[in-house]
Amino acid sequence: MLGKLLKYEAKATARSFLPIYLAILLFALINRVINPFDKVSDGVSVTVEGFSFINMMRMASIVVYFALIVATIAMTFVIIIQRFYKNLLGDEGYLMFTLPVKPWQHIVSKLLISLMWIALSFIVIVSSVLVLINIDNLFGEIGRLIREARGFFGDTLLILAPISALIGASYFIMTVYNALSIGHLFNKHRILASFVAYLGIYMVGQIVGTIFLFTTAGFILEPLSKAATPEPSLIITLILAIVSLNVLLATANFISANIILSKRLNLE
């Protein structure tokens, strides 16, 4: 049943993401062709009162491109919040919770699809930048950078970096889900209650993180501060510590949200 939830969630959110992904790549391609960062000679362009029409078009195109990137980032986070709130805590919740599905499966399906769109948004934005800057022998240059990074950082660190980013995103998403669930326990001012709950959860997370750093400073932070050039092994240790902390906090938020949706659900 979890697979069906994932399929439904992916289809429901794809309608919002795919068009803007295509628009970003299209405008990146357009900007690559018209090259908005190049000057246009006055002999080639049509000018009106000193303004070049082609330059104006270039400026408009690059503004739209960057606006689409900002919109993609904002939309990603808005949809993460909206889908959980409306689909599970709003009117749609009456239908969703009649399905033969455990509350934790609803949470997991929305978490996984949210992570998928975050990753895809990052990939699309990076791809559009690579299209825009028009590097000769692009794949060869990317391969060279990867080889140099592997030689300096090592394979372990390169693998840990995206894993750490996804787990950090999971912690943020679960914090939002937990805050929305707590806010929904109130009969009035639920959005305000959710915002206050998020601030409270965030503060608790910061306190736990501070305590964690102090207790582990002896074998993580001190060697890093004393090393003239940080060794990859020290960086790996630090990343693993941060990942462990984020997993702990994300799990705590998951358990809290699951308990509320399982035993204290209030759709009135």
What average pLDDT score do residues 68-90 get? 88
Q: Is the pLDDT of residue 232 over 80?
A: no
**Domain count for the chain:** 1
Residue 194 in domain: yes
Q: Is the pLDDT of residue 162 over 80?
A: yes
Residue 82 in domain: no
Task: Pick the more confident residue, 44 or 135.
Answer: 135
Residue 124 in domain: no
- State the sign of the Cα–Cα–Cα–Cα dihedral 249, 251, 257, 259: negative
CA distances to 9, 57, 172, 205 from 246, rounded to whole Å, are: 25, 46, 9, 9
Q: Which residue has the tokens 């902390």?
A: 245
pLDDT at 50: 45
Share of the chain above pLDDT 90, in %: 28
What average pLDDT score do residues 62-71 get? 84
pLDDT at 227: 64
pLDDT at 40: 44
Q: Can you give the chain as a three-state secondary structure string?
A: CHHHHHHHHHHHHHHHHHHHHHHHHHHHHHHHHHCCCCCCCCCCCCEECCEEHHHHHHHHHHHHHHHHHHHHHHHHHHHHHHHHHHHHHCCCHHHHCCCCCCHHHHHHHHHHHHHHHHHHHHHHHHHHHHHHHCCCCHHHHHHHHHHHHHHHHCHHHHHHHHHHHHHHHHHHHHHHHHHHHHHCCCCCCHHHHHHHHHHHHHHHHHHHHHHHHHHHCCCCHHHHHHCCCCCHHHHHHHHHHHHHHHHHHHHHHHHHHHHHHHHCCCCC
CA 83-88-91 angle, to 5 degrees, is 100
Q: Select, from the ranges 15-19, 43-47, 263-267, the one with the highest average predicted confidence (pLDDT).
A: 15-19
Task: Pick the more confident residue, 47 or 180.
Answer: 180
Task: Pick the more confident residue, 212 or 38.
Answer: 212
**Token pair of 110 as six digits:** 């929305």
Interval 97-155: pLDDT, tens = 777 888 899 999 999 999 999 999 999 988 888 887 766 666 676 777 777 766 766 67
In which domain, by residue range, is 214 found? 135-268
Residue 59 in domain: no
Residue 32 in domain: no
pLDDT at 41: 42
pLDDT at 66: 85
Q: Is the pLDDT of residue 45 over 60?
A: no
Q: How far apart are CA 147 and CA 143, in angstroms?
A: 6
pLDDT at 206: 92
**Token pair of 95 as six digits:** 């239908």
**Token pair of 117 as six digits:** 């769109």
- Asked whether 239 and 160 are in contact (CB, 8 A), the reply is yes
Residue 152 in domain: yes
Q: What is the mean pLDDT of the chain?
A: 81
Residue 241 in domain: yes
Phi, psi of 188 (to 5 degrees): -130, 155
pTM value surpassing 0.95:
no
